Every structure is written in C-alpha cells, then in structure tokens.
Structure 1
Amino acid sequence: MIPDLTVGDSEQPWVDVAPYQVGTTAATLTLHSPADPDPTGTAIPVDTGVETTVDGRQVLRFTTISNVRYTAAGWWVREWKVTGPGAIEPKETFFVAPSPLAGGPLWTPTRSRVASYVPSRPLVPAADGSNVDLMAFDSTTRPTGGQVDQLIADAVNWVTDETGVLDERLYESATACAAIRAAGFVELGYPERSDPMKSTANTTSDRLLKQAEQMLARLAARNAALTGADGDTPDPAVAPMPVYSFPPAPSWGDQLL
C-alpha cells in the first residue's frame, strides 16, 4: 500500500465546525513535526472560516492560508483549537513516509519534471468547473506524489540497468529519459481521455514510452563510447557475488551399499 503522504508532499489542512457563529467561532492550528525538537509545535496561520455544505449539513470550514509542506518522515500531528460556538480541540495524527527517491542518483528527475511532460495530469478540479494547475504532483493529485515517486524510482533503475555507471556529461539526458518514462506510466495508469476511435499507437502514454526507449538506446550507446563500459559492466563499488566450482561426483557414489 502506497501511503497518502510522502516527504515533499504539501496540502492545505482544514477543519469543519458545526454548530458555529460567524464572526465569533475562530480556529488556530499547531503543527508538530517529527523533526522538530520543540514539543510546542509550530503555529500555522489559518484563514477565516467559510460557510459550506458537507453531506447535507451546514458547517464552518477553516483552512490554512497556504499549503503546508511535509519535510520529514514519521508521525506528524495537527492540533486544532476552535473557540466560541462549536468549540472543539481535535488532534489528527498521520504518517509521512520517506521518499523512495532519497539517496538516488544526482540526475533523478523531480515530480515537476515528470509533470512537465503530462501537464494536463496534475490538475485539481474546483467547484466552479475551473482547474488549479499545480505543475507538480502531491497528495491531492491523481496519481499522488507518492505514487509518482515510485514510478520515478522505477524509471531511474530502468535507465541504470541498461547503461551501467553513467558518465557525468550524460546526467541531463538521463534525467529527461527517466522523466519521460515515468510520465508515460502516469498517463498509462491514469489516461486523460479514452477514445475508442483512436489507435493505441497514438495514445500519449504509447508515444512517451516509445520516446523513452529510443532515448535510452542512444544514451546507452553514448555512455559506452565515453566510458568504454556497457550495461553489463559491473559497478566497481559493488562487490561481485562469489562463484564456486566443484568436481563431478565419482560414479561409485551412485551405487547402493
């Protein structure tokens, strides 16, 4: 199961209050990070509540003024304090998973780099029919930022399996190749549209994946020319597995005593 939030994700926390009184009911938010040594937490500015309907009931919704970014893995706590009519003090505990991209190659593409190849994907629909273009993936998009991180990690491994150790002069090309591959799988899993009259050879995902394959073939060839090594050349930093050899068993060993 892929967690809802990973390091690097951001979102706009909110809390619903009912009953309430406009102008009297107020809310504050304190955010506790696992990386924050201060147990008192960090005060997050909260926007004035907005009346809205949720599941057929009227509520007063408070949201943070801007998105909150989660920068550390572990258990976080949102501590709301609502005063006035409808006063409550809910605490929300949630887990932020480590990014699978941590410790990867320097040329590992970012979420925004992947999003640049499928710009219609990371959109958040608004109630009035408009869309908010995030230009990156996070916990509010489909797929989520955590899911895209997994696709990026897979694409990076796909590149290195073919090329072996990359020459530094090819890092930018490797970034593009892995980003296009990840974008292809984003679109394959979450197609923007489904047209039965359109050939699968013309779909966005098919074009992106084919482009990535062509780029990888050229990247591997260029890397071999620069380094004198190919994808089958072992990384010197990785110790080879031992290989053992034994003489054939004597024929008399098959006889029953």
Structure 2
Amino acid sequence: MPSDLGVGDSETVTLNVAPADNTTSATLTATTPGGTSSSVTVAGGALAEIPGSNPVEYTQTWTSTTPVTFTQAGRWVLRWVVTGTGGGAEDFERYVLPARTAGGPTWWPGRTQVAAYVPWLTVSLSKPGDQTYQGTFSDDTSPDGAVADRHIADAGALVAPLATVMPAALYELAGTVTALHAAASLAAAYARTDEDARRAENLLARAVTAYQRLTTAVDDAGVDADADEPILIANYPGCEPGYLFF
C-alpha cells in the first residue's frame, strides 16, 4: 500500500512465515526508485506453534536486523524470498515523498495521499507504454510533484479558516478534505477525456460532502465555523464560474 514516508525515514521490516520449521530461511532485498538493489540482513525469530493446527505447524517472524533507510523519493520495492518450508516470494511497495508538502501545516496531506484519489495521473513518463501507477507525484509524472504541491496548497487554503480553530482530533479529517479538493483540482486540470472530466466532478462532489462533514464536526466540538466561507469552483469541469457556500 502506498504510504507517506519521507526521504530519510527508516523502517524495520518484518515478514511472518507460516508454516515454518527449521528448514525455513528468508532473504530481503531493497530496490530503490533508481533501480539499485541491495541485500538487507535479516534474522528469524523462534518458531511459534499455530493454535489449533493438527498436525502441529509453526509460524516464524523474520525481521531486518537494521532498519531500511529510504534515501530517495519514489517507489521502493522490498522483496522477500523464502526457501524451505513456507517457501515463496513476496514484494512490498513503499512510496517515499521528498517531504510532506513544503511550507504547510501538519494536517496538510502529502502527495501520496492525494495520488490515491487520482492514481491514473501517477504513470511513469520515463517508461512509455507502462501503465503501472507510481502512487505519488514526482519529476517522472504528469502533473509533477511541484504542480501537485501547488494544488495541495490551494486546497489547504480553503480549509485553513476552519483549521485555525478546530480541535487537533479533527486534523485528520481536515487532511482528507484537503486531499479530496486537491485531487479534484488536479483531475480537472489534467482531464484528457470525458471520463476524466466525470472523475473530476465526482471527486469534487466527495470533497464538498467531506467539507460539510468537517464544518459539522467543528460545530459539534463547540467551535463557531464560518458558514459563509466561499469555495471557488471556477476551474472545475461542469461547473459555472462562481463559488460554493457552506
């Protein structure tokens, strides 16, 4: 699953193998967005009996002995290969941001959270014909990361009047509202087909609903939200230039 890891973050990687026994062995390889692979030292834990198994079977947890440090932005692949009992291979993806959106408050979403709503905009430009979604915005996507950041900042400005007075418990919801507005704006700006335009309209509808839920939550928390805060909709397909009022 995509994540909002940032460059410099580290993760201790684990894998549960079942069934497992004394013949089980595992290796871990980390591949950077640039394609460089390196082995990660791992160790297996004690065999643990699987409750209710008959005949008795065991599970075993393998763990990297040192954390994997994500030194580059983009898509990393962590590949486990297991031999012996429980043998097989499995890839885990990590999407690493250059940073959370620069200059914004902590509740602003990162590029990865926004990209989850518009995955078709994260196809790699450097791999023609490959329609694999990268799961984030970067110099290798259209829109690129800098453009995505500007849309996130614009969407954040819509929510900011509420966020200045809302309880911290609502920051996650504020981030979701911002991410939906940013995704709708990006989808509209980069719509190539009628279907893309419809996707943008649907995202905008979801963003409006989420904003209304946020204002209600702020009111329920005892904060007097400004019900006349305007939301500019001039740049969305299917909408006449003007404002929405909540």
The TM-score, its normalising length taken from structure 2, stands at 0.49
Instruction: Work out which structure has the larger RCO, using CA pairs closer than 8 Å and 6 or more positions apart in sequence.
Output: 1
| Structure number with larger C-alpha Rg | 1
The TM-score, its normalising length taken from structure 1, stands at 0.47
**Hey, which of these two has a bigger chunk of strand by percent?**
2
